[in-house]
Structure 1
Amino acid sequence: MLNDLAARLAAERLEILGGFVCEGDTTLPAGTRSLLMLGPAEPGFWAHLTAQPEWDGGADPVDRWSRRVIGRMACDLGAKALFPFGGPPYQPFYQWALRTGRVWDSPVRLLVHASQGMMVSFRGALAFKQVIEVPPAADRPCEGCSKPCLNVCPAGALGAAGYDVPACHAFLDGDAGGDCLNTGCLVRRACPVSAGYARLAQQSAYHMSRFHKAGRTA
């Protein structure tokens, strides 16, 4: 089954970002014994995604694609598909990620992944009723790091004290916010692990525009 899943994920430019084995977890569907968390695999994810039928000018193309692709995998493998969108209430992806041993809270509280840094994002998860192999735990990359994420935010909106979301949106409204808005959050990019991950600026710009638009209309 895992070989089948790996092949399916590779074809959709997705990968397993972490997982854990559990028993009787009330945050998961009844009977779940293993959870695998899925996200983009670079290089190649954005080009693949934007060539899909969901990229049709309609609303929420990334989420619609995720539901179709991951939902089909779940059906074929006898698993349950779970998603970080579609709420409220929302699934506790942040807390699940911390349980994998491959994702941690960074010094600025954004998640940081062993190989993707602060560019990590989740498109969904698969809950299985059997115990399956999960990726091994890794060393937290923040240990021994100079932690540039703490002081690099040009808006002073993201640091050790947490995230001042209104200040971030106010900064993005001005001319000085163009770099973050068009190429991605500077704090995320400052992470040394993020720097080695091949996420395209176009992808970051898309998600930043969605985030900023939501903040304006909230």
Structure 2
Amino acid sequence: MAAIDPGALATELANHGLIARGCVDFHAEEAPAGSDGRPAACVVLVGHAGGTLWPYFSRWRAGRSASQADPLDAWSREVLEAVAGRFGARAVFPSDRPYLPFQQWAMRAEGLKPSPLGILMHPEYGLWHAYRGALLFYEKLASAFAVHGGEAGAPVHLCDACEGKPCLRACPVAAHSIERFDYAGCVEHVRSPQGGACRSAGCLDRNACPFGVEHRYSAGQQAFHMAAFARL
């Protein structure tokens, strides 16, 4: 099998508003199965920064039924399974059962740590990024897809130096705290008449974060994610 061309993969992902979010080379004992069942050698995380995927997903969604369940997951699966087929990889997703350790992979690949909201804090994008899936390959590629610190060394964790933690003070029902996330209280508020601001423009705590604001999702993208989260 020919060696993977990182540039060609990056171009293919960019055609859908996606980017490679780093890579983890596996130790033998932790490797999941690749495309033909043999243990994979690495995983390349795939996601987006800011709203780069939104125009591509929106055009795809316009041609589908408005009642389709989990359309962003369906789009991600369609796109990444096609990419995987072109590059001899296996595409895997956060919703797959049994669950794969996506957050651990992401922290190792980019050297990130969780924010008080649970979302990984990125040194450039702040809280405005996500992982849509990953590609499992049979060759070790961590050096070819190295970003930021990765396993070799983590970038500065912005939350450590953030005074006042505004992300814990904007929510009208104080859903987030250092100790826990009040999921039930959050959903109840978002669904209530008082939750209009959250439904139309996204999580107020997330929007209060001072980092990466130039990458903040549009109001339409945030409203979509909030509706999916609260099952509206």
TM bucket, shorter chain: 0.7 to 0.9
Equivalent-residue separation in structure 2 for 1:192 and 1:128 (angstroms): 37
Aligned length: 213
Aligned partner of 1:189 in structure 2 is: 207
Tell me the CA shift for residue 122 of structure 1. Answer: 1.4
1:46 matched to 2:54: yes
Contact 2:84 2:135 in 1 (8 A): yes
Query: TM-score, structure 1 length as denominator?
Result: 0.87
The answer to whether the 8 A contact 2:92-2:134 is kept is: yes
Coordinate RMSD, CA, aligned? 2.1
Q: Does 1:20 align with 2:36?
A: no
**Structure 1's 125 and 94: CA in aligned 2 closer, same or farther, altered over 3 A?**
same
User: Structure 2 vs 1, CA of residues 107 and 59 (structure 1 numbering), >3 Å: closer, same or farther?
Assistant: closer
Shift of 1:139: 2.4
The SS at the match of 1:122 is strand
Whether 1:95 aligns to 2:112 is no
Alignment of 1:51-200 (within 5 A): 51-52=59-60, 55-57=63-65, 58-87=68-97, 89-132=98-141, 133-134=144-145, 135-137=147-149, 138-146=155-163, 147-200=165-218
Shift of 1:73: 1.1
Which of 10, 16, 27 aligns to 2:14? It is 10
Deviation, structure 1 residue 76:
1.2
Answer yes or no: is the 8 Å Cα contact 2:89–2:137 preserved in 1: yes
- Give yes or no for contact 2:117–2:206 (8 Å, CA) kept in 1: no
Q: Which residue of 2 aligns with 1:34?
A: 42
Deviations 1:27-48 (A, max 9, x none): 6325322222111244542121
Which amino acid is 2:92 matched to?
A: L
CA 1:157–1:61: 2 relative to 1, 3 Å: same
SS in 2 for 1:156: coil
SS at match of 2:95: coil
Q: 5+ residue gaps in structure 2?
A: 150-154
- Structure having greater relative contact order (Cα 8 Å, sep ≥ 6): 2
Q: CA deviation at 1:173?
A: 2.4
- 1:5 deviates by 0.6
| TM-score, L = length of structure 2 | 0.82
Letter of the structure 1 residue corresponding to residue 53 of structure 2: F
